[in-house]
Amino acid sequence: MKYALVTGGSRGIGRAICQKLAEMGNHIIVNYNSNEAAAKETANLVKKHGVNAVLMKFDVANKQEVNNSLVKWLEDNPEFKIEILVNNAGFRKDALFMWMEEELWQSVLDVNIAGFYNVTKPVFSKMLTNRFGRIINVVSLSGIKGMPGQTNYSAAKSAIIGATKALAQEVGRAKITVNAVAPGFIKTDMTEGIEEKQYRSIIPLKRFGTVDEVADVVAFLASDKASYITGEVISINGGLHT
C-alpha cells in the first residue's frame, strides 16, 4: 500500500495535488488543520479515482498533534508506506515590517518552517528505511524574490528552499529526491482580495495561475519521469520573476 501525504490537502493547491496524485494511482492521506468539510470533499474527489483517502487532522506547527495522528498512523500501519510527501500547508499574515508584531512573525515561521520539520522528520525516517521517496515542498515566489509586506513569509519560504537543497544532497544515495515548487499568484482562498487586474501588467502571461497548473508540476516531480531531478526549485509564476 503506497501512500502520498499532502499537508493542507483540504483546499486550494493542496486539493488539486491530492487529485492529481490519486489520478496517478496513489492512495492519499489528506491532511487539514480545521476545515473538515473541505477535507471530506477532497477525500470524495480522491476516491473517484479508485484509491483510498485517509483524512488526517493536525496542525503541522503542533508537534504533539503530529505525533498523535501521523506518527501514530505510521506505527499502527507498518505495512503502509508513504512514498510521496508534499509539504503544502502554509499561510501568510502580511504586514510591513515596521508594524509586524512578534506573533505575526512567529506564527508564519511556525507553520511554514517548524511544520516542515515536524512532518518531514517521521516520514523521512521511513523513506530512509525503504530506500525510496519523493519530497516536494511548496514554497513561493516570495521566498526567491522577497515581497514587501511579507518579511515573515518570504523568510520562511526561503528557509525551506535552503532545506530542500541541503536535504537533497544528504539523501540522494537512498533514492530520495527533494524538490520544491515556487508558485507566483495562484487563484485560491489565499489570494482572495488580491486584484488580478492590478497585477496583469507585470505578469508576462497576463493572468494568475490555476491550482491545476501547480499540481501538474508536483505530480511530475512525484513521478518516475523526474527520477534524476533533485534539489531543484521550479517556478510557476507566469514569468513574473525568473
List, by residue number, the catalytic residues: 153
Pick from 120, 119, 113: nearest CA to 153: 113
Render the burial of 95-112: b for 16+ CB within 10 Å, e for the rest: eeeeebeeebbeebbbbb
Contact residues: ligand NAP, CB under 6 A: 7-8, 10-14, 31-35, 38, 59-61, 88-91, 111, 138, 140, 183, 185-186, 188-191
Which residue lies nearer to ligand NAP by CB, 103 or 224? Answer: 103
Q: Which of 91/132 has CB closer to ligand NAP? A: 91
For every residue of 105-160, which 3-state class applies, written as one string?
Answer: HHHHHHHHHHHHHHHHHHHHHHHHHHCCEEEEEECCHHHHHCCCCCHHHHHHHHHH
Least distance to ligand NAP from the beta carbon of 46, Å? 14
As measured in angstroms, the least distance from the Cβ of 174 to ligand NAP is: 26
Q: Which CB, 109 or 190, lies closer to ligand NAP?
A: 190
- Is the CB of 79 or the CB of 103 nearer to ligand NAP? 103
* Least distance to ligand NAP, CB of residue 25, Å: 23
Per the listing, cell 518552517 goes with 113
CB 184 within 8 A of CB 240: yes
Rg from Cα positions in the chain: 17
**Nearest approach, Cβ of residue 175 and ligand NAP (Å):** 26
Question: Cell numbers at residue 73, please?
Answer: 498512523
Q: Are 209 and 238 in contact (CB under 8 A)?
A: yes
